[in-house]
């Protein structure tokens, strides 16, 4: 569960022609990106600029990378995501400047209905994720829907971030919790 009181208040149907096409288009661009030779930086960056809603000038996302739509992703200047990044961007995912993401991290804006009948009909909810400036996220971290991570934060490896993290702290664990101020 996330820090949301009642996610079922925000349910919507995850299918339909428009959303299905948008997801297929994004997955096609991700496939194209992941098949490029790692040295083809201009081509890689061009695909990400086409895929993402907003990029700055300097960024690097290692292959493989996966997302749902792409257009809901905004990355700041000097953004780095290591291998195996996944952003399920049914809602907006915003990263500030100087954000470093270690391997195998996931940012999941989406969840399924808790009621089994609703879930079986394809009902989901999605809430934005926001990551501030000057953040380092350790390997295999999962960030759940509706979470905001403040500026100057370090998230320890293996954490599951279920609630907002304030500025200038080190946080880790499952669930992730503030351990100390920086």
Kindly state the helix (H) or strand (E) to which residue 31 belongs, with its residue range: helix 17-35
Contact indicator for 162, 179 with CB cutoff of 8 Å: no
Give the chain's length.
182
Chain centroid to Cα 179, Å, comes to 23
More confident residue, 9 or 128: 128
- Cβ–Cβ < 8 Å for 125, 145: yes
d(CA 139, CA 33): 22
Per-residue pLDDT of 89-112, as tens digits, reads 999 999 999 999 999 999 999 999
pLDDT-wise least confident of 63-72, 114-123, 145-154: 114-123
Indicate whether 8 pLDDT > 80: no
Instruction: Give me the residues paired with residue 88 across strands.
Output: 108
Q: Residues 116-134: pLDDT tens digits?
A: 999 999 999 999 999 999 9
Name the band, by pLDDT with cuts 50, 70 and 90, for residue 1.
very low
Cα atoms in the 13 Å half-sphere on the side-chain side of 160? 6
CA–CA–CA angle 49, 70, 83 (5° rounding): 80
Q: Which pLDDT does position 5 carry in this prediction?
A: 54
Task: Inform me whether the pLDDT recorded for 6 exceeds 70.
Answer: no
Residues with catalytic roles? 112
Which residue did the predictor score with more confidence, 17 or 1? 17
| pTM of the shown model | 0.94
Structure tokens at 51: 């895929």
**Rg from Cα positions in the chain:** 16
Q: Which CATH number fits domain 7-181: 2.160.10.10, 3.30.470.20, 2.40.40.20, 3.40.50.2020?
A: 2.160.10.10
3-state secondary structure of 159: coil
DSSP-H helix ranges across 36-139: 41-51, 116-120
What does the pLDDT read at residue 15?
86
Output the pLDDT for position 14.
86
**Domain ranges across the chain:** 7-181
């Amino acid at each position: 569960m996330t820090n949301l009181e009642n996610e079922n208040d925000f349910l919507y149907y995850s299918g339909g022609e428009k959303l299905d096409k948008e997801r297929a288009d994004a997955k096609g661009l991700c496939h194209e990106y992941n098949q490029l030779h790692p040295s083809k930086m201009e081509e890689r960056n061009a695909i990400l600029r086409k895929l993402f809603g907003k990029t700055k000038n300097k960024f690097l996302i290692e292959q493989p990378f996966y997302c749902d739509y792409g257009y809901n992703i905004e990355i700041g200047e000097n953004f780095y995501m290591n291998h195996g990044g996944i952003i399920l961007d049914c809602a907006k995912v915003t990263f500030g400047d100087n954000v470093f993401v270690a391997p195998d991290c996931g940012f999941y804006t989406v969840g399924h209905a808790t009621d089994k009948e609703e879930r079986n009909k394809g009902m989901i909810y999605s809430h934005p994720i926001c990551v501030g400036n000057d953040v380092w996220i350790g390997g295999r971290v999962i960030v759940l829907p509706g979470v905001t991570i403040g500026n100057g934060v370090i998230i320890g490896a293996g954490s599951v971030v279920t609630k907002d993290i304030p500025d200038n702290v080190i946080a880790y664990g499952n669930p992730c919790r503030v351990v100390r101020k920086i």
